Amino acid sequence: MDYHQDMVLHVIAEAERCFLCKKPMCVTGCPISTPIPEMIRAMREGRLREAGEMLFANNPLSAVCSLVCDHQKQCEGHCVQGRKGQPIHISSIENYISETCLDQISIPIPPSNGIMVAVIGAGPAGITVALEMAKRGYKVTIFDSKDRIGGVMQYGIPDFRLPKTLLERYRRKLLEAGILIRPNTTIGGALTISSMLRDGYKAIFIGTGVWRPKTLGIKGESLGNCHFAIDFLANPDAYSLGNDVAIIGMGNTALDVARTLLRKGTRNVTLYARRQETNANEEEIEYARLDGASFEFGKHPVEITHDGPVFDDNIFDEEGHIIGTKGEPKLYRADSTIIAVSQGPKSKLVDTTEGLKAAPSGLLLTDEHGETTYPGIFAAGDVVLGARTVVDAVSYSKKVASSMDEYIRGLSS
């Protein structure tokens, strides 16, 4: 029996275990309220295509979210079966349905209303808004600074967690919906938001994500053997890091870096955290440990040197809060050091658009409808919320797309 057959049998068995709860806690735990019992019921009754269409209508990136969501904290973590035993493996069921049906699903596109809408950024937020606006009859063009769509899904999540062939299928889906894509096009350079408004776009959506690495503010961050996680993940093959690599940070991005390095032959990879625990996905931590990564907790970075990072040991109170450091700073030898302590947004759009304002953090300021300080320009995703999950970006972006539609309709009333 091959792997695919094993997976199908697993999915069927898990679907049969589901109680199809009338008040499903799994749906409550999902940030986008995926209709899980209805999805499983349709599959059990042989209506797979209907289940796939149901998933896509609720979350166009269901095939992605089924792979990269923190299911232990969301749907599966709320499953009633998990109270006394193993929760239903909802992610496997959702992935099987959404991935199998993706190419068969036809997106209902009405006749064009002739109104142009621009989407800046082809990440989770941009893809969601583009599809939602196309389904409302708008002529949508996506602008992205990189050569392939996906944003953080393409350039920030390793292929072993999210196959990039899936994103190519989404690109074809966007084109099928009549959406135009302009790759390698940065807005704020040769083209500006003023250029777009001049050319007749009635509303603009910004979903540019967070690509500026956050620094530690310590000596050594500009050394040749020091790198930032988000830059590394964009193109790991461009880096020669040696056999011993230190990663400062222990979030999900740091874990992706560690597992990528180990798969590419790095012998020793150690992650360092300030605190005594991490908020990263527990399953991903176990995968990284299984792959061979080592973990050090309670380390305060002091300096980065050519021989590796230097740390103090943190002191904690009874509640786990850092209250100081102890001992002498110690060098932890490494050929290279990678800093993985989150990202913030770049400022090019704000710098080149008068009236578009950001918070001190660089995140765009929006109202409760997702409209920025510039009328007709909307934003969602990480550029508004900070580094979050794919499903968070999709959920919020669907609401913002509705706000954009209402705004444009208001222009002609």
Q: What is the pLDDT of residues 339-361, one digit of tens each?
A: 999 899 988 899 999 999 999 99
User: What DSSP character marks residue 102?
Assistant: T
pTM: 0.95
- Give CA–CA dist 30/71, Å, rounded: 8
User: What are the Cα distances from residue 354, in Å, to 31, 64, 155, 162, 357?
Assistant: 34, 36, 30, 38, 8
Helix (H) or strand (E) holding 303: strand 299-305
User: What's the confidence (pLDDT) of residue 358?
Assistant: 94
Give strand pairing partners of 66. Answer: none
Q: Are 381 and 124 in contact (CB under 8 A)?
A: yes
User: What are the Cα distances from residue 20, in Å, to 82, 170, 202, 372?
Assistant: 14, 30, 44, 41
User: What's the confidence (pLDDT) of residue 349?
Assistant: 93
- Give CA–CA dist 201/128, Å, rounded: 18
Residue 123: alpha-carbon gap to chain centroid = 8
- Give CA–CA dist 334/390, Å, rounded: 33
Helix, strand, coil % in the chain, rounded to nearest 5: 40, 20, 40
User: What's the confidence (pLDDT) of residue 3?
Assistant: 64
User: What's the confidence (pLDDT) of residue 154?
Assistant: 97
For the chain, which ranges sit under pLDDT 70?
Answer: 1-3, 413
SS (H, E, C) 34-97: CCHHHHHHHHHCCCHHHHHHHHHHHCCCHHHHHHHCCCCCCHHHHCHHHHCCCCCCHHHHHHHH
User: What's the confidence (pLDDT) of residue 413?
Assistant: 66
How large is the angle between the packed helices 3-17 and 90-101, nearest 10 degrees? 120
- Give CA–CA dist 38/49, Å, rounded: 13
What is the chain's length? 413
Question: Residue 310: CB partners within 8 Å, gap ≥ 6?
Answer: 301, 302, 303, 304, 329, 330, 331, 332
Domains of the chain plus CATH, in order, are: 3-101 (1.10.1060.10), 116-212+343-411 (3.50.50.60), 215-339 (3.50.50.60)
- Give CA–CA dist 235/227, Å, rounded: 12
Q: Are strands 180-182 and 299-305 parallel, antiparallel or unpaired?
A: unpaired
User: What are the Cα distances from residue 299, in Å, to 123, 277, 319, 331?
Assistant: 34, 11, 17, 11
Summarised one tens digit per residue, pLDDT across range 196-229 is 999 999 999 999 999 999 999 999 999 999 999 9
Place of tokens 């959702």: 94
Question: Residue 23: CB partners within 8 Å, gap ≥ 6?
Answer: none
User: What's the confidence (pLDDT) of residue 111?
Assistant: 96
- Give CA–CA dist 90/96, Å, rounded: 10
Residue 253 identity: T
Q: Are 205 and 371 in contact (CB under 8 A)?
A: no
